[in-house]
């Protein structure tokens, strides 16, 4: 069955028909690393992660491009406020995002272009737009002339006349029409800059995405995605730039937008004091439960995040794993769950909520009717949703993700365990095993010394009847 997606451009459900049969190009607007990645980022990128997995499971060759806007006013402001260089701000917050993405099980993009490394591709389009009279140079930069594009406003469903009344002219900008937007910003003293025929400066935000999408996926692409709050002005402007330059319409067959994230029923914002950094959330909760929570809601609807909701998601996931574990103990059988039904949910505009509910029902049904062979089918479904196959695997992801040993801690633990273990996890498990031996032989002095060594390395150990559990301390 073919995949149908809601296309923001046509405001209707449409079947995905790849421009090149068998291949799908997806461009998703990525991070602007000027502050901590938050829960909203997780929601958007999880949506496109599942889209990508689903398309790949259908045998399509997907090229997934997710950019990094690594220069921008907010990055410059942040660098000034923190007294560091702009690229240190980028390294810090991009590093934080990448660590979180890994923990969430987001597959790495095929291409992760960075705006500052794509200046020639950006300059090429700006020069072309000037040559086509769709852009002009002024005192402080190069601007796109909105009135040159008869389609401007189509994506967001707005008319130029209506937009003009709502826009406030930034006094410092030197442009002909208040709606015109910057393609190139000439550098002010002390700002980071790159050379161009219009002098030293930096690209505007929108042109970066036009250039990167075109460079890696071509003049026209299958799916362009991002968060819903990017439709205007970012995506509207991107369309105007790309289509004015290439003369081809549409720039993207399908525009797909992930809904916003609410926290306790309100929009997440720093001013409301309900801003949840992603890292903090992942330190407190199982990453698989976070994924499960977002998948329960359709990607287009606003998701309301509450502590109760994440706890309920964790409980739902635990139940699923428990049933699966029981199912694994059953002998092989002839009957298999109708997996096509699972695919049909995802084909229906990525109905992950329906797919999860189906999974829960099927795993219970398979266990009740003793269909041991159903496990493989259900594990494939989990894989497409990006959920680990077992509770233990989900737990291990959490342990691995929460942190890594510092060089100092690794050296201290290696001294105890010997250097035959290579990974941090194996090293920690080895020290815990030694401690268990000490406990069993009632050598409490050694047992306590080993626990202290683990504590110094940032590892908490909890002794349970089933053995010792360990986690990285959250505050590390």
The answer to whether the CB of 299 falls within 8 A of the CB of 258 is yes
DSSP β-ladder status, 4-7 and 12-15: antiparallel
Q: Determine the Cα–Cα distance for residues 350 and 51; give it in Å rounded to an integer.
A: 7
The least CB distance from residue 244 to Zn ion, in Å, is 17
State the minimum distance, in angstroms, from the CB of residue 29 to Zn ion: 3
Dihedral sign for Cα 77, 78, 82, 85, please.
Answer: negative
Q: Give CA–CA dist 142/137, Å, rounded.
A: 4
Print the binding letters for residues 163-202 with Zn ion: x by CB under 5 A, - otherwise: ----------------------------------------
Nearest to 79 by CA among 165, 191, 189: 191
Is residue 211 close enough to count as binding Zn ion by CB under 5 A? no
Inter-residue contact 86 to 75 (CB < 8 Å): yes
Stretch binding Zn ion (CB under 5 A), from 53-61, 204-212, 377-385, 396-404? 204-212
Among the residue ranges 26-34, 56-64, 259-267, 378-386, the one whose residues contact Zn ion (CB under 5 A): 26-34
Stretch of 29-37, 92-100, 261-269, 452-460 lying at the interface with Zn ion (CB under 5 A): 29-37
Cβ count near 300 (within 10 Å) = 17
Q: Rounded to an integer, what distance in angstroms lies between the CA atom of residue 437 and that of residue 429?
A: 12
Contacts of 141 (CB under 8 A, 6+ apart): 173, 174, 182, 183, 184, 185, 186, 198, 201, 204
Q: Whole-number minimum distance, CB 36 to Zn ion, in Å?
A: 20
Question: With CB under 5 A as the contact rule, which of the stretches 101-109, 203-211, 301-309, 368-376 interacts with Zn ion?
Answer: 203-211
> Given the complex with Zn ion, which of 67 and 196 has the nearer CB atom?
67
Q: What CA–CA distance (Å, rounded) separates 72 from 54?
A: 33
Site for Zn ion in 305-324 (CB under 5 A): none
Q: If DSSP states are collapsed to H, E and C, what string results for 188-226?
A: CCCCCCECCCCCCEEECHHHHHHHHHHHHHCCCEEEEEE
Query: Please, which residue, 209 or 346, has the CB nearer to Zn ion?
Result: 209
Q: Among 382, 346, 208, 280, which Cα is nearest to 42's?
A: 280
CB nearer Zn ion, residue 70 or residue 397: 70
- Considering only the stretches 24-32, 136-144, 266-274, 371-379, report the one whose residues sit in contact with Zn ion under the rule CB under 5 A: 24-32
Q: Shortest gap between Cβ of 315 and Zn ion (angstroms)?
A: 37
Helix (H) or strand (E) run with residue 472 in it = strand 467-472
Q: How far is the CB of 255 from Zn ion (least distance, A)?
A: 12
Angstrom distance (rounded) from CA 12 to CA 193: 42
Q: Residues 57-86 vs Zn ion: string with x where CB under 5 A?
A: ------------------------------
Largest CA distance in the chain: 84
String of contacts with Zn ion for each residue 269-298, x by CB under 5 A: ------------------------------
Sheet of strand 252-258, all strands in order from the earlier edge strand to the far edge: 61-66, 23-28, 221-227, 252-258
Of 223 and 428, the one with the shorter C-beta distance to Zn ion is: 223
Cβ proximity to Zn ion: between 242 and 447 the closer is 242
CB within 8 A of 52, min separation 6: which ones?
A: 26, 62, 64, 107
CB of 209 to Zn ion, least distance (A): 3
Nearer to Zn ion (CB atom), residue 209 or residue 288: 209
Q: Which is nearer to Zn ion, 239 or 288 (CB)?
A: 239
Minimum distance, C-beta of residue 234 to Zn ion, in the bound complex (Å): 6
State the nearest-atom distance from the C-beta of 157 to Zn ion, in Å. Answer: 19
44: phi then psi, degrees, rounded to nearest 5:
-60, -50
Can you say whether the dihedral through the CA atoms of 102, 104, 110, 116 is positive or negative?
A: negative
Residue (29 or 413) nearer to Zn ion, CB: 29
| Residues contacting 438, CB < 8 A, separation 6+ | 444, 446, 447, 450
Size of the site for Zn ion (CB under 5 A): 2
26, 28, 29, 129: which one binds Zn ion (CB under 5 A): 29
Q: Do 111 and 217 meet the contact criterion of CB atoms below 8 Å apart?
A: no
- Contact between 46 and 288 under an 8 Å Cβ cutoff? The reply is no
Q: Is 428 exposed, middle or buried (0-12, 13-18, 19+ CB in 10 A)?
A: buried
Of 255 and 342, which CB lies nearer to Zn ion in the complex structure?
A: 255
Q: Which is nearer to Zn ion, 90 or 428 (CB)?
A: 90
For residue 57, the 8-state DSSP code is H
Binding to Zn ion in span 403-462, by CB under 5 A: none
Which one of 134, 209, 313, 356 is in contact with Zn ion (CB under 5 A)?
209
51 or 431: CB nearest Zn ion: 51
Q: Cβ of residue 333: shortest distance to Zn ion, in angstroms? A: 49
Q: Are 184 and 211 in contact (CB under 8 A)?
A: no
Between 104 and 209, name the residue whose CB sits nearer to Zn ion: 209
CB-wise, 234 or 451, nearer to Zn ion? 234
Q: Which stretch binds Zn ion (CB under 5 A): 23-31, 87-95, 266-274, 374-382?
A: 23-31
User: Residue numbers of the site for Zn ion (CB under 5 A)?
Assistant: 29, 209
């Amino acid at each position: 069955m073919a995949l149908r997606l809601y296309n923001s451009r046509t405001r209707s459900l449409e079947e995905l028909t790849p421009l090149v049969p068998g291949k799908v190009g997806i461009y998703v607007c990525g991070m602007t690393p000027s502050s901590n990645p938050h829960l909203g980022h997780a929601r958007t990128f999880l949506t496109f992660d599942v889209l990508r997995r689903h398309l790949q499971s259908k045998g399509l060759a997907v090229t997934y491009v997710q950019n990094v806007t690594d220069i921008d006013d907010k990055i410059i402001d942040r660098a000034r406020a923190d007294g560091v260089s702009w690229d240190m701000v980028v390294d810090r917050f991009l590093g934080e995002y990448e660590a979180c993405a890994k923990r969430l099980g987001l597959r790495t993009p095929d291409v992760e272009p960075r705006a500052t490394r794509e200046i020639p591709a950006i300059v090429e389009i700006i020069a072309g737009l000037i040559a086509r009279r769709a852009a002009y140079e002024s005192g402080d930069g190069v601007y796109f002339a909105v009135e040159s594009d008869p389609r401007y406003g189509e994506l967001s469903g707005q008319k130029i006349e209506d937009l003009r009344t709502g826009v406030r002219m930034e006094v410092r900008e030197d442009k002909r029409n208040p709606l015109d937007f910057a393609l190139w910003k000439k550098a002010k003293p002390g700002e980071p800059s790159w050379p161009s025929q219009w002098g030293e400066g930096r690209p505007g935000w929108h042109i970066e995405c036009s250039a990167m999408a075109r460079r890696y996926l071509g003049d026209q692409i299958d799916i362009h995605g991002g968060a819903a709050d990017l439709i205007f002005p970012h995506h509207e402007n991107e369309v105007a730039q790309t289509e004015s330059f290439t003369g081809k319409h549409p720039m993207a067959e399908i525009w797909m937008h992930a809904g916003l994230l609410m926290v306790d029923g309100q929009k997440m914002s720093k001013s409301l004091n309900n801003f949840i950094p992603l890292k903090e959330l992942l330190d407190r909760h199982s990453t698989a439960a976070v994924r499960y929570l977002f998948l329960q809601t359709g990607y287009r609807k606003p998701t309301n995040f509450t502590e109760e909701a994440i706890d309920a998601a964790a409980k739902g996931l635990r139940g699923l794993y428990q049933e699966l574990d029981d199912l694994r103990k059953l002998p092989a059988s002839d009957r298999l769950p109708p997996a096509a039904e699972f695919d049909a949910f995802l084909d229906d505009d990525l109905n992950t909520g329906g797919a999860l509910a189906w999974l829960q029902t099927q795993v219970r049904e398979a266990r009740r009717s003793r269909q041991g062979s159903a496990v493989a089918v259900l594990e494939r479904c989990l894989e497409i949703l990006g959920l680990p196959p077992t509770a233990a695997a989900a737990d291990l992801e959490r342990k691995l993700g929460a942190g890594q040993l510092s060089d100092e801690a690794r050296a201290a633990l290696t001294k105890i365990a010997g250097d035959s273990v290579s990974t941090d996890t194996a090293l920690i498990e080895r020290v815990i095993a030694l401690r268990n031996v000490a406990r069993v032989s009632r050598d409490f002095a050694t047992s306590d010394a080993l626990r202290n060594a683990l504590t110094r390395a940032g590892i908490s150990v909890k002794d349970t009847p089933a053995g010792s559990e360990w986690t990285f301390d959250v505050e590390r």
